[in-house]
Amino acid sequence: MTEPFYRFFVVDYFATGEGRSYWLKICRNYQSVDERDREKEKFAQFIGLGAYHYMHGFEELTEEEFMKRYDTLVPHNVKMMLHRRDQPAFTWETHYHFNYC
């Protein structure tokens, strides 16, 4: 089985009175040189303060499932870049927060 070229991470968080937050990441799928998942660690750093709390909602999805759920949140130019395979350090991260007022 061939490993996927990219990895797709998401934290989908909501709580009463706090709105809803999405953290999304797409990155190259590099083999680890040890047992550490550095891309997941970088994602937690991107989430920042409170990452431990939010990481309870962490998921790593397939490209198909990621796009099925979050297609409308991924800019067109990022989707176009996914078709390329000549971007050695491709990483896209974003955070959306929607407040319910």
Report how far residue 35's alpha carbon sits from residue 41's, in angstroms, rounded to the nearest whole number.
12
Q: How many residues does the chain have?
A: 101
* Amino acid identity, position 11: V
**Global pTM exceeds 0.95:** no
Model confidence over 40-98: pLDDT tens digits? 999 999 998 777 788 888 999 999 999 999 999 999 999 999 988 888 889 999 999 98
